[in-house]
A and B are shown apart, each in its own frame.
Chain A
Amino acid sequence: MNRRKFLVLTGVATGAVIIPASVYFITGSVSEYAVLIIKKQLDYLKLEHGSVEQYVNDYFHNSNNAVMRMKWKSIYYLNISWERSNTLMELIKNFLLSTDFFINKMDESKVVKYLGLYSPYKSPVPNPFAYTLYPPGEVPNP
């Protein structure tokens, strides 16, 4: 098992022991690091100014304790990608589901706008796989 995989699998407590010392002295909130991560991972998309920040603020509502800060700081500074971290994958998946990205049929030329945290009970975002976005006439016959 390599070092990064070990970090990902064991989480923050272990990571705190072996993260480079410089990380401890870099200030910043959970939200700041999460925003940086999303923007880095989705750098090929045109993200509306302020959308990622607003999403992250909603996602981490009242979650800015020291453990969380270290966790997201570690993910950012260790350059961990979503392929290696389920937590990160969920953050980014949820971001895309919370935007108009799927409403715009994943058109990367369009600006991606945050619409509200994804929730089948509250948000206006439809199921990205559904007939509401891809009516029968648009689904080919094999």
Chain B
Amino acid sequence: MKSDYYDLVVVGTGFASSFFLKKYLKKAPQNSKVLVLERGHFFPHDERLKVKRGEKSSFKKFEEPWEKAINNLSPYKKWPFTTGLGGCSNCWWGCTPRFMPSDFKMKTLYGIEQDWPIDYNDLDPYYYEAEELMHVSGPNGTPFPRNGNYPLPPHEFSLVDKVLHKTYGNKYISQPTARASRATMGRNRCMTSSTCDTCPVNAKFTIENSNIGVYEDPRIELIYGAQVYSLETANDVVKKVKFIQDGVEQVAAGEVVVLGANPFFNSNILMNAGDKSPFLGKGVGEQLGMQVLIYLDGMSNVGGSTWVNANGYMLYDGAHRKDYAACLMEVSNAPYYIRLERGKYLNIASIRLLFEDIPLEANYINTTSNRLVPDVHHVKRSDYTLKGIENMKKQLPEILSCLPVEKLEYLPPFPNEGHIIGGTRMSSDPKLGVVDKHMIHHKYRNLFVIGAGAFTTYSASNPTLTLSAMSLFAADKIF
């Protein structure tokens, strides 16, 4: 390390940290000193592509299997994530819908769990800013309040999309996405390649291709291979960040500390530091996703233009959320679902149904004898979510009656959605959460704990845009 003391020490380089830093650097003095500790390494997109093609890459050694980074105790769950510069921006699929305003007020509107200490209006300007930074492609007219055009035009509808949009208007839209619909800012146009985790044509926004200028800023010192495991505190102030690099114990001291690792590691670090917040590590989970195949009679589902081509909100908002979960429909443009009956090859649509879940105390993170590797317990889904599935099965045939449906086939739930949520939930009342509305720890007031771990409730929508907007909001309000 170049300094003994930093103005800001940030853990992690994923969306939450990078967007926080983007705003912080805009406001901080030119002589600021910022230390960023990244668990992984820089594994460039070009090298990731080589690995995907089965070619040799000297960077392959930097791949860290998620199964070894945590101790997953659930037989039915998987928690894939990526470490290294950019974190999960390297493996996300680029889905960027905003949350619905109701997602922030689950207690007031539906009597479910708790309201967030922030609402849609608080985040609204930061949603725009995050969408601009990611060059999101999207439509004019959305189910959530939004004015004007997205930075890039929407992706093209398929025929099935057109029928559903005609029937449901703004409840069925081209998905807002960070997969570029036009070449932009060094990214290529999405060629609907059928995979996004490492985009074959570099159309998806990542921290590496973002051009947001964070890690090139001379005020930043970035250290790779730094596995943070605890904090040193005194009188409710975080003094130092403890980490291991190349097997050597190290500490970094700073005025303000930001934990921007994923929710598993943020909770683990706090627990190792002796944090006794009653909700710390509790309520970890994510949405439940399952696929329905829609066999069409005489309709070829062609013309779509990206992996998740559209979002349907017909099962999302409403009084039903008092009793069961909202569902976001993600319409996949997936080649793997072609049919084999002669002449019907493309007469099929597939929709991934994302059901919100709620934070259950039975699903939690805990420390282990290995301070770098937390236990992750996920023992069940909520009844709220399971009732949502039953309701969907009753309603979907009617919702899809505008299409010539031959039959519906439901596939089993997926083991993961790639949306790790909870563990450091946000609350107004310190007794009901770990961080406040600016994601500052209720007890350690010089500590931010950012990312989806801070979500009070899960929503049915993909979390990345919202957690990015929350980082911009927090850094803007505090610095």
Contact = CB atoms under 8 A, between A and B. Distances in A.
The bracket for how many chain A residues form the interface is 20 to 34
Nearest to A133: B302
Given A106-B345, A121-B49, A142-B166, A93 B338 contact: yes
A37 interface: no
Given A121-B49, A134-B303, A127 B194 contact: yes
B192 A131 contact: yes
A44 interface: yes
A68 B157 CA distance: 42
A89 B194 contact: no
A118 B163 CA distance: 30
Given A120-B195, A126-B191, A139 B338 contact: no
A132 B156 contact: no
A41 B305 CA distance: 31
Q: Find the residue from A82, A89, A102 having the highest chain B CB count within 10 A.
A: A102
Interface in A122-140: 122, 126-136, 138-140
Contacts of B335: 97, 118, 127-129
Contacts of B53: 121-122
B158 interface: yes
Interface residues of B, number: 33
A97 B303 CA distance: 17
Main secondary structure of the interface of A (DSSP, over half): loop
A120 B346 contact: no
Contacts of A127: 192-194, 333, 335
A66 to B, nearest CB: 27
Nearest to A44: B342
A129 B301 contact: yes
A141 B333 contact: no
A16 interface: no
Interface in B44-85: 49, 52-54
B194 A93 contact: no
Given A106-B345, A120-B195, A121-B198, 12 more contacts: A106-B343, A120-B200, A121-B49, A121-B53, A128-B338, A129-B158, A129-B301, A130-B303, A130-B333, A135-B303, A139-B157, A139-B302
Interface of B: 49, 52-54, 156-159, 162-163, 166, 191-195, 198, 200, 301-305, 333-336, 338, 340, 342-343, 345-346
8 contacts: A102-B345, A106-B345, A128-B338, A128-B346, A129-B304, A130-B304, A136-B303, A142-B166
